[in-house]
Chains A and B, each alone.
Chain A
Amino acid sequence: MSPGTVAGVLLLGLVLPWLLVRLDIGNFLVVLLILFFMQAVVAQSWNLIMGYGGIYSFAQVALFAIGGWTTGVLAHSLGWNPFASILFAPVVATAAALLVGLPTLRLRGTYVVLLTLAFHELTRVFAITGPRFISGGGYGLTIVPGFPLGNVSNDQRLIFLYYIAMAIFALATFVIWRVIYSPLGVAVTALRDSETYAVSRGINQFRVRLLLFGISAFFTGLAGGYMTHYSTGISTSVFDLSRLIDLLAMIVIGGWGTFVGPILGAGIVIGLDQVLEGIGDYRALAEGLIVALIAVFAPQGLWPTLRRIYDQYLGPEPAEPQQAAEAETESSVGGE
């Protein structure tokens, strides 16, 4: 992506809410965008460890919840300013992830599935039945102070919330992009594609995975913290399997193991969710089936397909065969 495109998108993102609040439906769209930003962050984080890292962790939702509960408890029970307490959400989430990761990431994929699922269950049960001070009972935390943004109009407040969400999204996207296109990212994909060879080249599998797991947890916790203060509460329904499948759908539909995939997927799932509002319960049914079908019959997801279409019809022409052949002979003679 060229710097120009990035700058353009950023500018659009900055200006958009001001335009949208003028429309009747605009406020609703801004809310959707905020949701999109947060879901995209979590989806990207999950894709980082699952799509790129090949770590089949199902702890993502639990980490999101841990982040949310941390900031909720700090703000509600200890009276902290949300802007301060939200800084602790990613920290606690990362700590929890490292705790889970220590025994789990040493083992083969199947065991990671089990242990993270068990962790999800444990966190859920703790959230419901834990000490009142922390858990808030069966409905979750319901009285969490929102962000103190001063005495501003509803529209203004919404725009501020939007900017915070966008900032988090931009930060997460940037960091994940840097991680993927860094030696760490290359190491991770090497491990995913050919573990034995990567290990033989000196990549410490456990440390790389732990690091990735931590990064993923950091942003997931941050998103959880934001959503808690945005919604002034966090409910135990966040642990529902339907949330998990939503995230999974974003990754699977958008493009498993690609950078843009989860972002695209988040947009699609949230967009479709609104469009198909009327079908209610059938939504989960359709979602599950679509995820299953795509996983089996079109595992790369949408983004690689779009990329392919773009390259084929709109991309630059490939190099001349003549030049390519010359370059080949040159490199085969000159090199090793």
Chain B
Amino acid sequence: MHNTQLVQAVWGGILFGSVYGLMALGLTLVWGAVRLLNLAHGAIFIVGAYTAYWVVSTLHLPILIALPVGVLAAAIFAAIMHVLFIRPVIGKAGFDNATLVATVGLSISVSAAVLIIFNPEYKVVPPVLGGSHTMVGVQITNQGLLVIATSLALFGLVYVFLTYSRQGMAIRAVSQQRDAASLMAIPVVRTYGVVIAISGALAGLAGVLLSPFFFLNPSSGFNPMIQALIVTIFGGLGSVRGALVAGFVLGIFESFVEVYLGVAWALPGVFLLIILMLILRPNGLFGIGDVRRL
């Protein structure tokens, strides 16, 4: 019995961790580069998920085709969001206000649009990999393994991209010191767009891969986004490494709390942990930028 619980907790922890990491990666990238708290992240998540669902259910194409279509749709949506709602206020004094309210408004709009286009019934998105194994009484789904593998692979990819590619270096430059970057002839606003699009693609990917685990509905994006926010802040806003580590730390913590204390304690437990972190180390684990304590 103990073994099962332990394995359940560990498996759950690694799975949650990968999920959170995936969601948080896009959020932290955008914060780092654009200093934008993207509360539409959840909306982009469901754009990806619902697009994949549409491809599978209406076009009757396999999920393997729906996956890149969903990711692309999410990236395009994010780019449009950037052009319409972010770009006009870049550099202006009310940027934080405007983008916060605008992303919240967009979030609702997407939820409503999805509700209208599809109906409020829960949708089932087929997993990319079906089947599962059982280990010591714990069900280990292949889709779960895929999620973990994808998450780790993406972190690696993003790391390589940021470190070695020109565009990646441009993004890092803009994150560190925007004005200097623009003096070095880096097109700052266009870089913003690229980062937002990449973040959108990541959110969309998370949406398509994760939706088989629960029933997809118009408000599916809210919870993953809150969790992503928590992980992002825990790991430090703007830090890719932080998102990865924090994702697993929080994932394992939450999983253990759930298995040993009950599901009801999961969210309060995480809440407490994040408050503790913010009191002791407001920058998060690896945060960049300054955080003024009062």
Partner of B226, one of A121, A252, A284, A296: A121
A320 to chain B, nearest CB (A): 33
| A129 CB–B CB distance under 8 Å | yes
Q: A110-B37, A114-B233, A289-B109 are in contact. Are A299 and B226 (CB under 8 A)?
A: no
A30 to chain B, nearest CB (A): 30
| B282 CB–A CB distance under 8 Å | yes
| B215 CB–A CB distance under 8 Å | no
| B131 CB–A CB distance under 8 Å | no
Nearest B residue (CB) for A209: B294
Q: A122-B268, A285-B116, A287-B108 are in contact. Are A241 and B222 (CB under 8 A)?
A: yes
Binds A, one of B66-74, B192-200, B271-279: B271-279
Which chain B residues border A129 with CB–CB below 8 Å? 264
Q: A113-B37, A288-B105, A289-B105 are in contact. Are A299 and B94 (CB under 8 A)?
A: yes
Q: Mark A279-303, 1 if CB is under 8 A from B, else 0.
A: 0011111011111110111010000
Interface of A with B (CB < 8 Å)? 56, 103, 105-111, 113-115, 117-119, 121-122, 125, 129, 205-206, 241-242, 244-245, 248, 252, 256, 281-285, 287-293, 295-297, 299
| B292 CB–A CB distance under 8 Å | yes
Q: Are B219 and A241 in contact (CB under 8 A)?
A: yes
Q: Are B293 and A106 in contact (CB under 8 A)?
A: yes
Q: Are A252 and B111 in contact (CB under 8 A)?
A: no
Which chain A residues border B115 with CB–CB below 8 Å? 281, 284
Q: Are A122 and B101 in contact (CB under 8 A)?
A: no
Q: Are B116 and A118 in contact (CB under 8 A)?
A: no
- Alpha-carbon distance between A235 and B88 when the two chains are bound, in angstroms: 39
- Alpha-carbon distance between A205 and B278 when the two chains are bound, in angstroms: 18
Q: Are B88 and A107 in contact (CB under 8 A)?
A: no
A127 to chain B, nearest CB (A): 13
Which chain B residues border A295 with CB–CB below 8 Å? 97-102, 105
B287 to chain A, nearest CB (A): 11
Nearest A residue (CB) for B268: A122
- Alpha-carbon distance between A282 and B31 when the two chains are bound, in angstroms: 31
> What total count of A-B pairs have CB within 8 Å?
135
Nearest A residue (CB) for B103: A292
- Within B249-294, the residues touching A (CB, 8 Å) are 264, 267-268, 271, 274-275, 278-279, 282, 291-294
Which chain A residues border B110 with CB–CB below 8 Å? 288
A120 to chain B, nearest CB (A): 9
Partner of A291, one of B88, B89, B105, B116: B105
Interface of B with A (CB < 8 Å)? 31, 37, 39, 84-85, 88-89, 94, 96-113, 115-116, 219, 222-223, 226, 229-230, 233, 237, 264, 267-268, 271, 274-275, 278-279, 282, 291-294
Q: A107-B293, A296-B85 are in contact. Are A256 and B267 (CB under 8 A)?
A: no
A291 to chain B, nearest CB (A): 4
- Alpha-carbon distance between A121 and B219 when the two chains are bound, in angstroms: 13
Q: A111-B278, A113-B37 are in contact. Are A121 and B267 (CB under 8 A)?
A: yes
B103 to chain A, nearest CB (A): 8
- Alpha-carbon distance between A188 and B133 when the two chains are bound, in angstroms: 59
Which chain B residues border A110 with CB–CB below 8 Å? 31, 37, 233, 237
- Alpha-carbon distance between A245 and B39 when the two chains are bound, in angstroms: 13
Which chain A residues border B99 with CB–CB below 8 Å? 295-296
Give me 4 other A-B pairs in contact (C-beta within 8 A), A244-B104, A256-B97, A281-B112 excluded.
A118-B271, A118-B274, A125-B264, A283-B112
Which chain A residues border B264 with CB–CB below 8 Å? 125, 129
Q: Are B278 and A107 in contact (CB under 8 A)?
A: yes
- Alpha-carbon distance between A242 and B237 when the two chains are bound, in angstroms: 28
- Alpha-carbon distance between A111 and B89 when the two chains are bound, in angstroms: 22
Q: Are A292 and B102 in contact (CB under 8 A)?
A: yes
- Alpha-carbon distance between A52 and B291 when the two chains are bound, in angstroms: 22
Nearest B residue (CB) for A205: B294
A144 to chain B, nearest CB (A): 25
Nearest B residue (CB) for A242: B108
A49 to chain B, nearest CB (A): 13
26 A–B contacts from the bound complex (CB under 8 Å): A56-B100, A103-B278, A107-B282, A108-B291, A108-B292, A111-B278, A114-B226, A114-B233, A118-B230, A122-B268, A241-B107, A241-B111, A245-B108, A248-B104, A256-B97, A287-B105, A287-B108, A288-B106, A288-B108, A288-B109, A289-B109, A292-B103, A296-B85, A296-B102, A299-B97, A299-B98
B27 to chain A, nearest CB (A): 11
Which chain B residues border A242 with CB–CB below 8 Å? 108
A201 to chain B, nearest CB (A): 15
Which chain B residues border A245 with CB–CB below 8 Å? 104-105, 108
Q: Are B106 and A292 in contact (CB under 8 A)?
A: yes
Q: Are B108 and A284 in contact (CB under 8 A)?
A: yes
Q: Are A117 and B109 in contact (CB under 8 A)?
A: no
